[in-house]
Amino acid sequence: MKLLKLTALSFVLASSLAASPKNAMADDMRSMLHAMNDIQTAGFYSNKEGMQEGVKKLKEGLHSLLATDAKAYLPDDKAYANKFAKKRASMITLYADDLLNSLKQNDLEEALENYAFILKQCTSCHIRLRSY
């Protein structure tokens, strides 16, 4: 019986660690990477619906970036990155909305330009944070 309780406690503790904000953000980052790939692929094939779906997935992934305090797990010299990351998230939202508006106007070239702007936001944040 004692072994069963210890096993259950171990499982609960492991589950709570797996659900940490850092892990949730990592999951969302992977989801956003897949969304960016979906947008790009759909753009190559002039698939507006695919691009719209990719933007929807991308914006869903921004939640943990906005809700998580990166200071909790970044080194002290990178603590400033929390504010920087939140600004990048707001810019991604802006460009994603512009991308959707471009698609509504049947301007695929402008939509792909907005995709490139989103990619620049992602890359600038990753360059700053990944150096630690």
Return the domain boundaries, the chain.
Answer: 21-129
Query: 38: how many CB neighbours lie within 10 A of its CB?
Result: 19
Q: Is the pTM of this model over 0.75?
A: yes
Instruction: Supply the CATH classification number for the domain 21-129.
Output: 1.20.120
pLDDT tens figures, 41-66: 999 999 999 999 999 999 999 987 77
Please compute, for residue 126, the number of CA atoms within 13 A of its CA located in the half-sphere on the CB side: 11
Mean pLDDT taken over the chain:
83
Range with the poorest average pLDDT among 2-6, 50-54, 80-84, 124-128: 2-6
pLDDT at 5 over 70: no
